[in-house]
Structure 1
Amino acid sequence: MLSVIEKVNDVVNNFIWGVPAMICIIGVGLLLSFRTGFIQIRKFPYAMKVTLGRMLKKREASDGALTPFQAVCTALAATVGTGNVAGVAGAIAIGGPGAVFWMWISALLGMCTKFSEVTLAVHFHERNANGDLVGGPMYYIKNGLKKHWHWLAYLFSAFGVLTVFGTGNATQVNTIITAIDSALYNYDIISKESASTLNLILGIVLAALIALILLGGIKRIGQVTEKLVPFMAVMYILLALGVVIINFKAIPGVFGAIIEGAFNPSAVTGGAVGSFFMSMKKGVSRGIFSNEAGLGTGSIAHACADTKKPVKQGFFGIFEVFVDTIVICTLTALVILCSGVSVGYGEAAGAELTISGFTSTYGGWVSIFTAVAMCCFAFSTIIGWGLYGTRCIEFLFGTKANKLFMVVYSLVAIVGATMNLGLMWSIAETFNGLMVIPNLIAVFLLSGVVVKLVKEYLAGEGAASTLKNSREEAKRTFL
Structure 2
Amino acid sequence: MAFTELFTTGPDILSILKTIDSLVWGPPLLLFLVGTGVYLTLSLGLIQVFRLPLALRYVIRPDSSDNDHEGDISSFAALTTALAATIGTGNIVGVATAIKAGGPGALFWMGLAAFFGMATKYAECMLAVKYRTVDENGQMAGGPMHYITRGLADKSYSRPLAVFFAFSGVCVAFFGIGIFPQVNAIADSAAITLNVPPFYTAIVITILVAMVTIGGIKSIAKVAQVLVPFMAVAYVLGCLIIIFSNLELLPSTVSLIIRSAFTPTAAAGGFLGSTMILAVQMGIARGVFSNESGLGSAPIAAAAARIREPAKQGLISMTGTFFDTIIVCTMTGIVLVMTGAWTSDFEGAYMTSYAFSTGLESFGSLIVGTGLMFFAFTTILGWNYYGERCVQFLVGVRGIMPYRIIYIALVGGGVYLTLDTIWILADIVNGLMVIPNLIAILALRRIIVQETRKYFDGLEEESDSY
- What TM-score results when the alignment is normalised by the length of structure 1? 0.89
* Partner SS state of residue 455, structure 2: helix
Change (3 A) 1:71 1:331: same
Distance, in Å, in 2 between the alignment partners of 1:33 and 1:70 is 26
- 1:331 maps to which residue? 331
Distance, in Å, in 1 between the alignment partners of 2:191 and 2:180 is 16
- 2:409 maps to which residue? 411
- 1:475 maps to which residue? none
Distance, in Å, in 1 between the alignment partners of 2:437 and 2:47 is 21
Amino acid at match of 2:171: L
| Aligned: 1:183 with 2:183 | no
| Aligned: 1:397 with 2:395 | yes
Q: How do 1:54-453 residues align onto structure 2 when only pairs under 5 Å count?
A: 54=62, 65-145=72-152, 146-148=154-156, 149-167=158-176, 168-185=178-195, 195=197, 199-266=198-265, 273=273, 275-341=275-341, 343-344=343-344, 349-418=347-416, 423=421, 425-453=423-451
CA contact (8 A) 1:90 1:348 kept: no
Cα distance per residue 1:186-227 (max 9 Å; x no partner): xxxx6xxxx3xxx33432332222122111122111111101
Amino acid at match of 1:328: V
Change (3 A) 1:201 1:63: farther
Distance, in Å, in 2 between the alignment partners of 1:74 and 1:350 is 25
CA contact (8 A) 1:94 1:348 kept: no
Cα distance per residue 1:73-124 (max 9 Å; x no partner): 0000010111111111122222222222211210111000010010001110
Cα distance per residue 1:305-332 (max 9 Å; x no partner): 0111110010123211111111001100
User: In terms of mean alpha carbon deviation, does 371-380 or 264-273 score higher?
Assistant: 264-273
Structure 1 gap segments, 5+ residues each = 469-479
Amino acid at match of 1:40: Q
What's the offset of the Cα at 1:173? 1.3
What's the offset of the Cα at 1:287? 1.5
Change (3 A) 1:107 1:119: same
What's the offset of the Cα at 1:265? 3.6
Structure 2 gap segments, 5+ residues each = 1-5
Amino acid at match of 1:406: R
Distance, in Å, in 2 between the alignment partners of 1:405 and 1:64 is 23
Distance, in Å, in 1 between the alignment partners of 2:251 and 2:90 is 26
What's the offset of the Cα at 1:5? 4.4
User: In terms of mean alpha carbon deviation, does 445-454 or 5-14 score higher?
Assistant: 5-14
CA contact (8 A) 1:142 1:153 kept: yes
Amino acid at match of 1:250: L
Distance, in Å, in 1 between the alignment partners of 2:233 and 2:428 is 31
Distance, in Å, in 2 between the alignment partners of 1:50 and 1:175 is 33
Distance, in Å, in 2 between the alignment partners of 1:184 and 1:222 is 28
Cα distance per residue 1:377-413 (max 9 Å; x no partner): 1001100100011001111110011011112111212
Amino acid at match of 2:260: G
- 1:474 maps to which residue? none
Amino acid at match of 2:310: P
CA contact (8 A) 2:41 2:119 kept: yes
Distance, in Å, in 2 between the alignment partners of 1:298 and 1:465 is 30
Change (3 A) 1:22 1:425: closer
Amino acid at match of 2:167: A
* Partner SS state of residue 54, structure 1: coil
CA contact (8 A) 1:115 1:314 kept: yes
What's the offset of the Cα at 1:279? 2.0
